[in-house]
Amino acid sequence: MVRLMTVDRLPEVVVIGAGVVGAACAWYAARAGLRVTVVDRGPVAGGTTGAGEGNILVSDKPAGPELELARLSVRCWRDLADAVEGFEYDPKGGLVVAGSAAALDGLRATASGQRERGVTATEVRPDELHEHEPHLADDLAGGMYYPEDAQVQPAAAAARLLRDARAHGAAVRPNVEVTGVLRSRDGLAGVRTSAGDVPAGAVVNAAGTWGGEIAALAGVDVPVLPRRGFVLVTEPLPPGVVRHKVYAAEYVSDVASDDASLQSSPVIESTAAGPVLLGSSRERVGFNRTLSVPALRRIAAHAVRLFPVLAGADVLRAYRGFRPYCPDHLPVIGPDARCPGLYHACGHEGAGVGLAAATGHVVARALTGHPPGTDPTPFLPERFG
């Protein structure tokens, strides 16, 4: 006997994942007039979103398809901040700093390509760095300032987007696990869950690090792997100790690296509540949740190297998350030609929060048959064969 999940109305779209990417897909789809149900095996923002810093960046993306997606997402996040009340959105800007002349040359080359694509990037001389960040180390070679970089509180953003989507008819079902898919002669026809079957005309795979597992249920390959990272959280510090999103030039190469071993480069940013977030680290160790003391030590040492004032700050806690990493360093977004009715919105690695708004926009446009607003070809899932 087939058991149906109790829903207000049968949905046209099932979104798997209640993190910030799934929330954005649900919000845009509901605002487009589609009937949406969101399911997640845990709570809202219980996965990678709840362990994120909330970065919305163009600065860390060299000229290419991901930069174009990021520029769209910056615009979408601004619109969301106006349309949805209650989540922290801070257009604080980003400062990328170089510790050597060679690193500064690399920043200049990256910024040159970004400017050709419409990004605002302003070089900051060594004697000007303290005008942006008074507590930076004195021996840096220079930097690049990106006024378009911003930050949100990611868990709050996911929750508020879903709340607003519900006001537009969406249903949100936490603690419901997807166990299989429903099929028709034409493709997917919904999902099987721990709470019953949910028939639907389209299924959006926004399962983050577990996006590959959801794809496998539908019989297609999307090679999403977990990449573990840690964040240290300081005690609340006085306003102005850290003003922007600040990170070292090496961060960009760490993101683009295929190395599975531990990598770390300093990433420091303030929060509205006062604590400062210290990152970053990356390593491929599966879903190993062990707290890595070497990684935490390296993060702390790098942070103090950039901001010596942090040496006197107490660390209140550390947390870890698993970034959904794809081998070609691009997210998987859009309809899957191998499985009609299946759409993907996963594999963003550490850029999921920043790219969430554009991802939701692109997926909703695909669901409703409208132009996506950016070239979707580099992100389509069939690139994996």
Could you tell me if 170 and 130 lie in one domain? no
In angstroms, the CA 170 to CA 234 distance is: 37
Q: For residue 266, give both structure tokens.
A: 């300093």
- The CATH number that applies at residue 187 is 3.50.50.60
What 3-state DSSP class applies to 316?
strand
For residue 152 the two structure tokens come to: 């949100």
> What pLDDT, on a 0 to 100 scale, did the predictor assign at position 87?
87
267 in a structural domain: yes
What is the average per-residue pLDDT within 190-197? Answer: 97
pLDDT band with cut points at 50, 70 and 90 for residue 11:
confident
162-177 pLDDT, tens digit per residue, is: 999 999 999 999 999 9
- The pLDDT of residue 240 is 93
Distance from C-alpha of 355 to C-alpha of 317, rounded to nearest angstrom: 27
Map tokens 């990328």 to a residue.
Answer: 96
For residue 161, give the H/E element and its range: helix 154-167
> Rounded to whole angstroms, how far apart are CA atoms 230 and 241?
22
Handedness of CA 66, 71, 74, 78 (dihedral sign): negative
In a shared domain, residues 259 and 216 = no
Domain range for residue 124? 94-147+225-325
Question: Is pLDDT at 285 greater than 90 in this prediction?
Answer: yes
**For residue 4, what is the DSSP state?**
B
Task: Place 150 in a pLDDT band, splitting at 50, 70 and 90.
Answer: very high
Q: How far apart are CA 64 and CA 212, in angstroms?
A: 24
Residue type, 81: A
pLDDT at 5: 58
Within 8 A by CB and 6+ apart from 33, the residues are 368
Residue 236 one-letter amino acid: P
Quick one: average pLDDT of 365-370?
Answer: 96
Render pLDDT for 81-124 as a digit per residue (tens, 0 to 9). Answer: 999 998 899 999 999 999 999 999 999 999 999 999 999 999 99
Residue 256 pLDDT class (50, 70, 90 cuts): low
pLDDT for 215 equals 98
pLDDT confidence bin for 3, thresholds 50/70/90: low
- Same domain? For 316 and 231 the reply is yes
> In which order are the strands placed within the sheet that holds 196-199?
178-184, 187-193, 196-199
> Predicted confidence band at 267 (pLDDT cuts at 50, 70, 90)?
very high
Domain boundary (306, 325, 344) is at: 325
Q: What is the pLDDT of residues 201-248, one digit of tens each?
A: 999 999 999 999 999 999 999 999 999 999 999 999 999 999 999 999
Asked, for residue 236, whether it belongs to a domain, the answer is yes
Q: Are residues 133 and 240 in the same domain?
A: yes
pLDDT at 246: 97
Q: Which of left, alpha, beta for 314 (phi over 0: left; psi -120 to 50: alpha)?
A: beta
* Confidence at 1, pLDDT banded by 50, 70, 90: very low
Q: Could you read off the pLDDT of 337-361 as tens digits, one per residue?
A: 999 999 999 999 999 999 999 999 9
Q: b or e along 100-126 (b: 16 or more beta carbons within 10 Å of the residue's beta carbon)?
A: eeebbebbeebbeebeeeebebeebeb
> Over 70: is that where the pLDDT of 275 sits?
yes
Does some domain include residue 4?
no
286: in domain: yes
The least confident of 129-143, 214-228, 250-264, 367-381 is 250-264
Handedness of CA 333, 334, 337, 340 (dihedral sign): positive
Whole-number pLDDT of residue 16 = 98
Is the separation of the CB atoms in 59 and 143 below 8 Å? Answer: no
pLDDT of residue 9: 60
Classify residue 178: in a domain, yes or no.
Answer: yes
Q: What is the CA radius of gyration of the chain?
A: 21
Q: What is the CATH number for 109? A: 3.30.9.10
Residues 278 and 313 both lie in one domain: yes
Q: Are residues 136 and 230 in the same domain?
A: yes
Claim to verify: residue 36 and residue 164 sit in the same structural domain: yes
Query: CA 56 to CA 255: how far, in whole Å?
Result: 15
Tell me how many domains the chain contains. Answer: 2
- Smallest CA-to-CA distance from 103 within 254, 280, 309 is with 254
Task: Out of 275, 300, 325, pick the residue that ends a domain.
Answer: 325
How confident is the model at residue 10, as a pLDDT?
62
User: Which of 276, 309, 325 is the C-terminal boundary of a domain?
Assistant: 325
pLDDT at 385: 76
Collapsed DSSP state (helix, strand, coil) of residue 209: helix
